[in-house]
Each structure stands twice: as structure tokens, then as C-alpha cells.
Amino acid sequence: MERIALFPGSFDPITRGHESIVRRALPLFDKIIVAIGVNEEKKSFFPLEKRKAWIETVFASAGQVEVVTYTGLTVHLCRELNVGFILRGLRTSADFEFERSIGQMNKKMLPGVETVFLLTTPEYTALNSHIVRDIIRHGGDASSFIPVGVHID
């Protein structure tokens, strides 16, 4: 059976931290589906189509990576796409507490799916999309925080 992992997030925008998690997870899975979650109650900073196109550019040469968008529960998407694993990145103890509760709730709802965590590499521990958005919003240079090949105008 194919080992398929779903990497859900808002990717608003994708950062080098996200990219690193996916690249390091590639040897573990046959396929990784990057799933951009759309929260209907929260407006994103970048449009969905741009966020998707940027991720597709980053992984254009990685045949095992697909990008999808979704609304609703991650476990419903897992069932629909028949994935066995949810991939998440851990930066800090705050991430751990947040992820623990989501991971345990997902396990209750869909016991056949395992959440797999990769620790962030030290250079990306402080990096998150929120900081990148702030830098861009205020006219700073965020290029060293976003993947090579992604051009945010």
C-alpha cells in the first residue's frame, strides 16, 4: 500500500520552514499532499490561488508532491484521499501543546491515521508565516525566509 502523507496548513505564505519539513519527509513517504486549508471565518493575507501556485513552483521537480486546497475537517480530507499519515512540524513547546490536542482529537475521529512530527531544523525555529507577512506588509525584505523561486510582489 502506498504511504501517503497529508501536510495541512495555511501556507500564507509558504516559508523555508514548511519547505524544509516537506523535503525532509520525502524519503519517508511515497507521496506528500500539501493541503492548503481554507478557513471561511478568517481572511487570508495572500489569495488562495497564489499560495497554491507558489507551493507548486517550489516542488515542481519533486514528482511525489501534490498540492490541494480544502475546507472543513482535515480528517475528512484524509478519508477522501485515502491518506495514512498527517505530517506536521514542531518548532517550540507551544507548537507541541497545540499539535498534541489536534493530533489526539484527529486520532479519536480517524484512528487509522497517524500524525508524524518532524522537529524543525534550528535555523527555522523562529520562522513562521505571520512574521513573513509582517515583513512584507511593512516593505521589508523577506526573501531569505521564503523558498528560492517564490517571488512575492
37 contacts 30 by C-beta, under 8 angstroms: no
For ligand ADP, give the closer residue by CB, 130 or 137: 130
Question: Does 147 contact ligand ADP by CB under 6 A?
Answer: no
Q: For residue 151, what are the contacts with CB-CB under 8 A and spacing of at least 6?
A: none
Cβ 89 to ligand ADP shortest distance, Å:
2
Calpha distance 85→110 (Å, rounded):
11
| Part of the chain binding ligand ADP (CB under 6 A), chosen from 56-64, 73-81, 85-93, 106-114 | 85-93
Question: Does 44 contact ligand ADP by CB under 6 A?
Answer: no
Pick the closest to residue 35 from 7, 62, 13, 11 (CA basis): 7
Among 91, 102, 116, 142, binds ligand ADP (CB under 6 A): 91
**Cell 519539513, located at residue:** 21
Backbone φ and ψ for 70, nearest 5 degrees, come out as -155, 160
Interface residues for ligand ADP in 111-140 (CB under 6 A)? 120, 124, 127-130
Catalytic positions are: 18, 42, 91, 129
Question: Does 5 contact ligand ADP by CB under 6 A?
Answer: no
For residue 151, the 8-state DSSP code is -
For ligand ADP, give the closer residue by CB, 1 or 39: 39
Cβ 88 to ligand ADP shortest distance, Å:
4
Question: What are 19's three cell numbers?
Answer: 519547505
Cβ 87 to ligand ADP shortest distance, Å:
8
How many residues appear in the chain? 153
Q: Please tell me whether residue 81 adopts helix, strand or coil conformation.
A: helix
Binding site for ligand ADP (CB under 6 A): 9-11, 15, 17-18, 21, 88-89, 91, 95, 120, 124, 127-130
